[in-house]
Structure 1
Amino acid sequence: MAYQLFGRSRTALVTGAGARDGIGFAIARALAQAGLTVSITGASERIHERAAELALEGLPVTSSVFDLTSAHQVAQLREMTGPVDILINNAGMGSIKQPAVDGILIELDEADWDYGISVTLKTAFLVTRAFLPAMIGVGHGRIVNIASVTGPLVANVGESAYAAAKAGMVGLTHALALEAGPAGVTANAVAPGWINTGASTPEERLAAKKTPLARAGSPDEVAAAAVFLASDRASYVNGAVLVVDGGNLLQERKG
């Protein structure tokens, strides 16, 4: 199976893969199941628990703890990991150690705004900047940014920093597609809608029932989209945003 999807790619890095029921962990598992050598990184020690779980499935995955908002620590991650063929920028929203703060814009502290932008958008910038040169050097690579429908396409009250950061990830994706494409490196984004994770609130789970498919999506369904964009089969897909929301954006009236 591995050669069919990943004829040239052999290694991958997934950021923000610490949550057992999260999108990052699902992507890491899917890539490892496809035969890739996968590294995962997160902001807390629980990332090592995820690697241990994958090892029990016969999927050896290396794990590391780094603060990806720090250029110095990202450089350490690059030195430890080495070059990769596939980069999945999934880190965002906050961490178990420092959750993001929601609030309407006029009541949001500057520090909370800065953190909301940093943990999602700055991390993608720093990690991409660290790993992209090697991809360009060999003339091959895949960058997949896990954005959201929130920001690029819709918004929620009280989530201005998150929306701005995720919209920024799409802008970053478009710029990367132009800058790195001529060197054989594609950049694409996945924009999930209502996805059932441990971070989902009761209100979000209720909203998911009002989608055309009458349910929330699963992390595995988002992972399938990310794996496709990272694969050889998506070799002519560049600068795209793949929405995974069960058709929810099609509805003017929701429930």
Structure 2
Amino acid sequence: MTIDLTGRRAIVTGSGAGIGAAIAKTLADAGADVVIHYANSEAGATAVSESIVAAGRRSIALRADLTDSSAADAFIGEAVEFLGGLDILVNNAGHLVGRAPLAETTDERWHQIMDVNATSAFFATRPALPHLTASEHGRIVMMSSLASENGGGAGSVVYATSKAATIGFTRALAKEIASTSVTVNAVAPGFIGDTPFHDTFTPAEAQKNIVSGIPLGRAGTPQDVADVALFLASDLSSYVTGQVVDINGGLNFR
């Protein structure tokens, strides 16, 4: 069965590289027009957008600091104006920022990590809601993590906390807006290789050790996550809301 998103309009935050880029391209391959959001990766975001346009869909890359509510409001407004409405919001923007024991974590670092992973999703979703509820196919896909359940690797207490917060947000919002038929679900990736996240924060030897413990015998790929996001963004998931889909090769069970 082929998923057809022709005519759907999507925003994917943090889509200049890695999982976000894969999700944006996958939605576009299914027929959606996609706004690419980035904070720092301008070159990557521009390349993703250009590849979508080259494939025959509408796309634009927009920069915004989604940890600032005014900037998020402006970004959503500009994105919706470009798209002519909104059907799909993928809140993928996030970052580990850095590893540190809790005792060495400053107030500033706590707020920085919580803001980029949890607050940014709130700031993006709030102005997007009126447009999503006006759609007959409103979908919100949140990005959580295996860390939300197992606590993550060393020095990631705040990151794990922020990703657990996205699950609470997902479930509460799903209930709150269920009467509008907009669905809200989350994906929780485990170890996903070939991404800036692990290339930056997880040493090569540690990556090998993680992969050796995955029952399916390999690291996940950005496409593994994108395929699940595509399902959650489609009509095939119309009776699925408030759920968290684990994508970890059997490494952990919720």
What is the TM-score normalised by the length of structure 1?
0.89
Please give the alpha-carbon distance, in whole angstroms, between the structure 1 residues aligned to 2:4 and 2:57: 17
- For residues 32-181 of structure 1, the aligned pairs below 5 Å read 32-44=28-40, 45-46=42-43, 47-82=45-80, 83-93=85-95, 100-138=97-135, 140-181=137-178
Out of 241, 247, 251, the residue aligned to residue 250 of structure 2 is 247
Offset from partner CA, 1:21-51 (integer Å, 9 cap, x none): x000000000000001111101022222321
Q: Which SS does the other structure have where 1:152 is aligned?
A: helix
Please give the alpha-carbon distance, in whole angstroms, between the structure 2 residues aligned to 1:27 and 1:232: 17
Residues 5 and 233, structure 1, Cα contact 8 Å, conserved in 2: no
| Larger deviation, residues 185-194 vs 209-218 | 209-218
Residues 152 and 170, structure 1, Cα contact 8 Å, conserved in 2: no
Q: Which SS does the other structure have where 2:61 is aligned?
A: strand
Aligned-residue offset at 1:186? 0.4
Give 5+ residue unaligned stretches, structure 1.
Answer: 95-99, 251-255
RMSD (Å) for aligned C-alpha atoms: 2.0
Amino acid at match of 2:228: A
Amino acid at match of 1:34: A
Aligned-residue offset at 1:239? 0.5
Aligned-residue offset at 1:60? 4.0
Please give the alpha-carbon distance, in whole angstroms, between the structure 2 residues aligned to 1:77 and 1:32: 20
Out of 223, 227, 235, the residue aligned to residue 224 of structure 1 is 227
Amino acid at match of 1:29: K
Please give the alpha-carbon distance, in whole angstroms, between the structure 2 residues aligned to 1:139 and 1:33: 21
Q: Which SS does the other structure have where 1:199 is aligned?
A: helix
Please give the alpha-carbon distance, in whole angstroms, between the structure 2 residues aligned to 1:115 and 1:51: 28
2:214 matched residue in structure 1? 211
Out of 167, 191, 195, the residue aligned to residue 192 of structure 2 is 195
| Larger deviation, residues 233-242 vs 206-215 | 206-215
Please give the alpha-carbon distance, in whole angstroms, between the structure 2 residues aligned to 1:6 and 1:49: 22
What is the TM-score normalised by the length of structure 2?
0.89
Aligned length: 242
1:17 matched residue in structure 2? 15
Please give the alpha-carbon distance, in whole angstroms, between the structure 2 residues aligned to 1:135 and 1:141: 5
Please give the alpha-carbon distance, in whole angstroms, between the structure 2 residues aligned to 1:11 and 1:59: 10
Residues 25 and 48, structure 2, Cα contact 8 Å, conserved in 1: no
Percent same amino acid at aligned positions? 38
Amino acid at match of 2:39: A
Please give the alpha-carbon distance, in whole angstroms, between the structure 2 residues aligned to 1:38 and 1:54: 8
Higher helix share: 2
Please give the alpha-carbon distance, in whole angstroms, between the structure 1 residues aligned to 2:178 and 2:207: 37
Residues 95 and 197, structure 2, Cα contact 8 Å, conserved in 1: no
Q: Which SS does the other structure have where 2:112 is aligned?
A: helix
Q: Which SS does the other structure have where 1:18 is aligned?
A: coil
Give 5+ residue unaligned stretches, structure 2.
Answer: none
Offset from partner CA, 1:153-191 (integer Å, 9 cap, x none): 443221011101100000000011101111110000000
